[in-house]
Amino acid sequence: MAANNVDRSPTCPTCLRTFSSYRGRAHERSQHPLSYHDTEVAALRTEVKKARRDPEELAMMANFEAKNFGARNINTRIKTEVLPHRSIEGIKGARRAETYKALVRQAALPQSAASMLAPRSPPLPVPSTTSEGPPVPNETPFGSPIIPISPGSAASGSPATSSSHEFRG
């Protein structure tokens, strides 16, 4: 039987018949199989699940491993210097996970490289228009003007009609 004998009484919970010992449970199994099996299944489902690893512990391990890249006996060093309450087998298991490996790669990146992954450039100003003619170029933060492309320019695919020099690169 899957359930513990401690939380059972010698009384049948369905028909309330009393027995002299816990063996009266055989009566419940033969006479009331649906309720008997429902209680057994419920007892099996209430088992405690394994405790999972704390994300903070994983981050501490990943930072330590990134700082000590190529060190020998890294599992033992993590146990002694970072997580003394964890077993070496538990540390090995955590290090096998792909999410942990990604944390180590991220921790190994220099801070300047990590900031380069998401560059932030200032937004470009929108050219202002006047009611009299074409848009007037605005100045960018770097001092060079933003020159809008008109529909008849060389950038749109039509040949240039002016004698100015064009840069094609």
> Both 60 and 99 in a single domain?
yes
Q: What is the DSSP string of 86-136?
A: S-HHHHHHHHHSHHHHHHHHHHHS-HHHHHHTS---PPPPPPB--SSSSPB
Task: Report the pLDDT value the prediction gives residue 2, as an integer from 0 to 100.
Answer: 46
The residue that leads in pLDDT, 105 or 17, is: 105
> Both 60 and 86 in a single domain?
yes
Residue 125 lies in a domain: no
Provide the domain limits for residue 28.
9-47
Domain count, the chain: 2
> Both 66 and 99 in a single domain?
yes
> Both 65 and 93 in a single domain?
yes
> How far apart, in whole angstroms, are the C-alpha atoms of residue 9 and residue 20?
10
pTM over 0.85: no
Residue 134 lies in a domain: no
Percent of the chain with pLDDT over 90: 29
Residue 73 lies in a domain: yes
